[in-house]
């Protein structure tokens, strides 16, 4: 199973799933667990497994996602599962979400992170 960073709080550890598995329970519909394509990385802790959620509104205001060569490779307005799966399939990370000054001004309430 692929391990991802999370935008959930550090208190979300999957204990309920672990308990169920330990007593013989199974997993169902795990393919519906959402993987969000963008998170804000704290440059002081780049390897921290807990990230700030980079809201879809950033992409909606004109943010673009670039691969490790600085190339745009996906329609950022696609559904989050499409964008996430494209990123996983292409394996061209690290990826960067880039916003122009006008877009950042429109969504400055979120850019303050």
Write out the catalytic residue numbers. Answer: 36, 59
Distance CA 80, CA 92 (A): 17
Between the CA of residue 42 and those of 24, 50, 53, 96, what are the distances in Å? 38, 10, 11, 13
Distance CA 12, CA 3 (A): 14
Distance CA 36, CA 55 (A): 9
């Amino acid at each position: 199973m692929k391990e991802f960073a999370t935008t959930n709080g550090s208190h979300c550890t999957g204990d309920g799933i672990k308990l169920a598995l330990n007593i013989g329970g199974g997993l169902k519909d795990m393919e519906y667990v959402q993987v969000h394509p963008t998170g804000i990385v704290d440059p002081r802790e780049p390897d921290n497994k807990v990230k700030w959620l980079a809201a879809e509104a950033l992409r909606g205001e004109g943010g673009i996602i670039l691969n490790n060569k600085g190339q745009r490779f996906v329609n950022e307005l696609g559904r989050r599962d499409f964008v996430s799966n494209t990123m996983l399939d292409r394996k061209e990370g690290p990826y960067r979400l880039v916003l122009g000054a006008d877009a950042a001004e429109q969504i400055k309430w979120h850019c303050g992170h």
